[in-house]
Amino acid sequence: MSRPNAASDKTVRRRGRDARRLARSERNTVSQPYIVRNIPPSEILDEEGLALIEGNAETVLQETGIEFRDDDEALALWRDAGADVRGERVHIPKGLARQLLSSAPSQFIQYARNPRRSVRIGGNATVFAPVYGPPFVHDLDRGRRYGTIEDFRNFVKLAYLSPAIHHSGGTVTEPVDLPVNKRHLDMIYSHIKYSDKPFMGSVTHPDRAADTVAMAEIVFGKEFVAGNAVTLNLINANSPLTFDDTMLGALKTYARAGQATIITPFIIAGAMAPASVAGVLAQALAEGMAGMAFSQLVRPGAPVVFGLFSSTMSMQSGAPAFGTPEPTKVILAAAQLARRLGVPFRSGGSLCSSKLPDAQAAYESAQSIWPAVMGGVNFVLHGAGWMEGGLSSSYEKFIMDADQLAMMEVLAAGIDLSENGQAMDAIAEVGPGGHYLGCAHTQANFETAFYRSTVANYESFEQWQSEGSLDAATRANGIWKEMLSGYQPPVMDPAIDEALRAFVENKKASFPDSNI
Amino acid sequence: MSRPNAASDKTVRRRGRDARRLARSERNTVSQPYIVRNIPPSEILDEEGLALIEGNAETVLQETGIEFRDDDEALALWRDAGADVRGERVHIPKGLARQLLSSAPSQFIQYARNPRRSVRIGGNATVFAPVYGPPFVHDLDRGRRYGTIEDFRNFVKLAYLSPAIHHSGGTVTEPVDLPVNKRHLDMIYSHIKYSDKPFMGSVTHPDRAADTVAMAEIVFGKEFVAGNAVTLNLINANSPLTFDDTMLGALKTYARAGQATIITPFIIAGAMAPASVAGVLAQALAEGMAGMAFSQLVRPGAPVVFGLFSSTMSMQSGAPAFGTPEPTKVILAAAQLARRLGVPFRSGGSLCSSKLPDAQAAYESAQSIWPAVMGGVNFVLHGAGWMEGGLSSSYEKFIMDADQLAMMEVLAAGIDLSENGQAMDAIAEVGPGGHYLGCAHTQANFETAFYRSTVANYESFEQWQSEGSLDAATRANGIWKEMLSGYQPPVMDPAIDEALRAFVENKKASFPDSNI
């Protein structure tokens, strides 16, 4: 089959090619800020099932209770709200958590320093963010090694350059070459400097949360930050049924500053929750409802997101297993439970246990990205780059995952039912036994009709072989290097950059390095 | 984390282990015959969108018409039914196809020679079948080469041994070492001999379809075959809007024998149909409705399935591209259109363009297996082993895909909301800050709580490295060899085997070999 003919006039053709090339390069930097879903969310439970799970969560909160550890203020807030507090155990009477949650917004905007990059969290919006947390990085050239601030900046840059990644994320890798008590400063600065997409704040200490807010105030202005979410912050529960003072401290700091939090039970089923899907759901919903309700006690109206991160446990080795089908069901049902509560929902994105960017990694990642997209998840963390059970950020997998995320944008856009989409004239024009290559509709649509993968190879076996029989990971290796070598930082007001650097330097000088 | 303790009495423990081992080995040979879905199908179009597409299909049938080539009988049947036949072009007035389709069963049983393997096609049932059609095979040891009858038998054996593959399929690879005009005899015999799962018949010539029916009569008895579907047969349309005499001949042979057919437009969008999802859907539905209605003209009540196979075209090279998001949307919408028509639906399963069983292959396969499962497809062809755009049957990919299919069974089973599934006692027992490893619920459920992948590696990086840093494909290579070396054929009545062999030998002797 030959390439459809372009216009016959050479000049027109060249001008058309230039315009198309420009349009393609624009697509690479000016992405859609977030996905507005045009397909209904898939469901796995009916209303009866959802009510059963939520009822169970409320029973757990009332009967078993949930612990808020080493935080007298938290216990006092709960006591004042009408909970039955015994020691550090908070028994939340049925109905109270839901009642407190009524002040939480069902959706909100997280602002980016580039207003065109601001994202909506909730409703029919879906936002993809990169991997969060790995202490290691992995690439095909150097294998697996500890992450550094250079790796951190590289992943920020790659996320910035990826059209279907809407968010700069948070700990894209741990920069373990920097002291634990100061590295958050370089991390936040890197997100602001090397990207103009929205980002996540530090949650490892209340002071680091406060530093995040202070740096955001330099960028957005104090007044704007007080009234708007400019950071999104990951608060994990210690499952089962416990919040510790570190996370509670960060939660309080962010909620008081009007910043958004994601309350996420982090569950290995069989270890931190029952070895059953409905059991995981009831416990996680109890934890999420308690944490989100607490955010509303701290500041009614503070933006808050229900998150759920679950894997199964290999019942033989005790290791967590990603890419198994039970967490897939958890994601679909939890997204429904969040909609029923009227809060945005966050899940994992492209999770895997594989130690390589191989077929295992891809199959496993599908087990979390597909239910996230089909289930209508609002904020998808770990959308790209997660490898080895979250221990490694993989350069090659980042590229391959990002390609998949772009395909998910196409899927979530639904089916174009416009006259052009219906293509009835084309069917009539071509008729039985004809072909569509040269018809007017194809000519008008061929540039944009189908998603073009950045990684996949569609060539013939012989051509592919003649080019070295490369696998997908090897092609991705070339792509991330090319992206980084062509990276240009987004514009930033030099005065703001200066002020941020000064803040970071002053902070670093004000107390000694420590790795605790 | 340690393995949960078994019962303390040694004898009980040993007996328990034996029972579990038996249960596991049973799982490997006596699989669930097919999936009964316990989750609702995902939807991408609303009723208005579906009505629009079906209306467009009916417009195409009435205005543009569809060609039934080189088959006067077909034209006569259409004329008698009230269609406007001009030459070979059949214009089907709006409403006629749907009216003819009212005699088609909404679901039916395809019988296997082992009654426990019979499958239901339609309704809330999903059946997975292996790859169909590739002239090449591929494995990591020998690379890519032409398929042989030995490879054919190997894939039949692997499908037989795979618990989540419910069907033996058809042309699992082309045995190109056998003459074209006789190879169907060895293919059908191999399906019957080396498996006891249901199988697909030959469609490459009406005589070969008749041979398929004759061999089925030897196995099932003439009378049984006349009244029941014991073969399922793939009739492709020549898109756009054409059926040829080969396919029509096979269709008529099977329909008259009461055997089931799948009417499948095979579409590369942009070449054989418009370069748009809604355009592909309207044309394919027109083709499917015409073909299925024709089956009812031949024999009212003949079991028939709507199939749709679509890929996109790389608009630069003209090559078909698998794993792109547009066909994903086609699958979801077409499954809805079939349900609306009241007929079973067939899609592709684990399609890919990749030349290797690598990450590209896996990501691409997810783009067709996920919508198939979420969309409620009834018969999923190419569920395992498809590689290189359908040019190769891959041994390693077969193993990895089959593992994914087993996970899909778990997903489609939905969420267990029984008392044991809810696990409320476990949550109360463990409480805040505890762990679930030793609790009664975990003890009772740990053997079956979570799906265990046959391919994935969940070990630590160091352990995985010490075992050779194998990727998934390399592990799959070991698995298929182990499966084939341990293969035991299912029992078969020696008299039937004898009669089948005699039929095949007599047929082969009755006319000369030919490769046309």
Q: How many CB atoms lie within 10 A of CB B62?
A: 18
Cβ–Cβ gap B282/A414 under 8 Å: no
Q: Which of B284, B288, B56 is nearest to A417 (CA)?
A: B56
Cβ–Cβ gap A278/B461 under 8 Å: no
Which structure tokens are listed for A59?
Answer: 């029973």
Taking only the tens place, the pLDDT of each residue in A205-260 is: 999 999 999 999 999 999 999 999 999 999 999 999 999 999 999 999 999 999 99
Residues of chain A neighbouring B56 (CB-CB closer than 8 A): 422, 424
CA B26 to CA A304: how far, in whole Å? 48
HEC profile of A285-336: HHHHHHHHHHHHHHCCCCCEEEECEEEEECCCCCCEECCCHHHHHHHHHHHH
Cβ–Cβ gap B453/A324 under 8 Å: yes
Cβ–Cβ gap B417/A458 under 8 Å: no
Q: How far is C-alpha B42 from the chain's CA centre?
A: 19
DSSP-assigned states of every residue in B344-370: -EEEE-S----SSSSHHHHHHHHHHHH
| Closest chain A residue by Cα to residue B446 | A315
Cβ–Cβ gap A451/B404 under 8 Å: no
Q: How far is A138 from chain B (nearest CA, A)?
A: 12
Cβ–Cβ gap B455/A1 under 8 Å: no
Task: Give the torsion sign (CA, A184, A187, A191, A194).
Answer: positive
Taking only the tens place, the pLDDT of each residue in B341-398 is: 999 999 999 999 999 999 999 999 999 999 999 999 999 999 999 999 999 999 999 9
Residue A176 · residue A148 · CB < 8 Å:
yes
CA B172 to CA B182: how far, in whole Å? 16
CA B228 to CA A220: how far, in whole Å? 72
Q: What number of CA atoms fall less than 13 Å from residue A368's CA on the CB side?
A: 33
Q: Which of A274, A308, A268, A85 is nearest to B430 (CA)?
A: A274
| Closest chain A residue by Cα to residue B469 | A355
Q: How far is A30 from chain B (nearest CA, A)?
A: 21
Q: How far is A496 from chain B (nearest CA, A)?
A: 41
Q: How many CB pairs under 8 A join A and B?
A: 415
Q: What b/e sequence results for B146-174 when a residue is b if at least 16 CB atoms lie within 10 Å of its CB, and e otherwise?
A: ebbbebbbbbbbbbbbbbbbbbbbbbbbb
Q: Which of A196, A134, A130, A203 is nearest to A169 (CA)?
A: A130
Q: Is the ipTM of this complex over 0.90?
A: yes
Taking only the tens place, the pLDDT of each residue in A372-392 is: 999 999 999 999 999 999 999
Residue B365 · residue B351 · CB < 8 Å:
yes
Q: How far is B351 from chain A (nearest CA, A)?
A: 13
- From the list B270, B365, B449, the residue facing A442 with the nearest CB is B270
pLDDT in tens, chain B (516 residues): 333 333 334 434 444 444 444 444 444 444 689 999 999 999 999 999 999 999 999 999 999 999 999 999 999 999 999 999 999 999 999 999 999 999 999 999 999 999 999 999 999 999 999 999 999 999 999 999 999 999 999 999 999 999 999 999 999 999 999 999 999 999 999 999 999 999 999 999 999 999 999 999 999 999 999 999 999 999 999 999 999 999 999 999 999 999 999 999 999 999 999 999 999 999 999 999 999 999 999 999 999 999 999 999 987 778 899 999 999 999 999 999 999 999 999 999 999 999 999 999 999 999 999 999 999 999 999 999 999 999 999 999 999 999 999 999 999 999 999 999 999 999 999 999 999 999 999 999 988 899 999 999 999 999 999 999 999 999 999 999 999 999 999 999 999 999 999 999 999 999 999 998
- Would strands B231-237 and B199-200 be described as parallel, antiparallel, or unpaired? parallel
Identify the residue among B396, B415, B447, B467 best suited for mutation to test binding to A, counting A beta carbons within 10 A and taking the highest: B415
- From the list B407, B434, B471, the residue facing A356 with the nearest CB is B471
Residues of chain A neighbouring B315 (CB-CB closer than 8 A): 3-4, 446-447, 449-450
Which structure tokens are listed for A229?
Answer: 């979410």
Taking only the tens place, the pLDDT of each residue in A48-84 is: 999 999 999 999 999 999 999 999 999 999 999 999 9
Taking only the tens place, the pLDDT of each residue in A424-449 is: 999 999 999 999 999 999 999 988 99
CA B457 to CA A361: how far, in whole Å? 10
**What three-state secondary structure class fits A273?**
strand
Q: How far is A64 from chain B (nearest CA, A)?
A: 6
Cβ–Cβ gap A275/B442 under 8 Å: yes
Residue A10's pLDDT band (cuts 50, 70, 90): very low
- From the list A238, A417, A447, the residue facing B278 with the nearest CB is A417
Q: For residue A15, what pLDDT is reported? A: 44
- Mean of the per-residue pLDDT values for chain A? 94
| Closest chain B residue by Cα to residue A463 | B355
HEC profile of A12-76: HHHHHHHHHHHHHHHHHHCCCCCEECCCCCCCCCCHHHHHHHHHHHHHHHHHHCEEECCCHHHHH
| Closest chain B residue by Cα to residue A392 | B461
Q: How far is A48 from chain B (nearest CA, A)?
A: 10
- From the list B67, B362, B430, the residue facing A362 with the nearest CB is B362
Q: How far is B217 from chain A (nearest CA, A)?
A: 37
DSSP-assigned states of every residue in A165-230: ----BS-SS--TTS-TTTHHHHHHHHHHHH--S-EE---SSHHHHHHHHHHHHHHH-HHHHHHSB-
Q: Give, in order, the Cα–Cα distances in Å from A10 to each of A3, A174, A300, A438.
A: 16, 53, 64, 18
Q: Is the pLDDT of residue A319 over 50?
A: yes
**Cβ within 8 Å of residue B434, ≥6 positions away:** A240
> What ranges in A65-145 are assigned the alpha helix state H?
72-81, 96-101
Residues of chain A neighbouring B427 (CB-CB closer than 8 A): 60, 64, 240, 273-274, 279, 282-283
Residue A470 · residue B303 · CB < 8 Å:
no
Q: How far is A367 from chain B (nearest CA, A)?
A: 9
Q: For residue B319, what pLDDT is reported? A: 86
Cβ–Cβ gap B471/A277 under 8 Å: no
Cβ–Cβ gap B282/A432 under 8 Å: no
Which structure tokens are listed for A51?
Answer: 């009510």
CA B246 to CA B263: how far, in whole Å? 13
Task: Give the torsion sign (CA, B206, B207, B212, B218).
Answer: positive
Cβ–Cβ gap B324/A453 under 8 Å: yes
CA A402 to CA A453: how far, in whole Å? 10
Q: For residue B317, what pLDDT is reported? A: 76
Residue B344 · residue B378 · CB < 8 Å:
yes
Q: For residue A31, what pLDDT is reported? A: 60
- From the list A274, A365, A449, the residue facing B276 with the nearest CB is A449
Q: For residue A318, what pLDDT is reported? A: 81
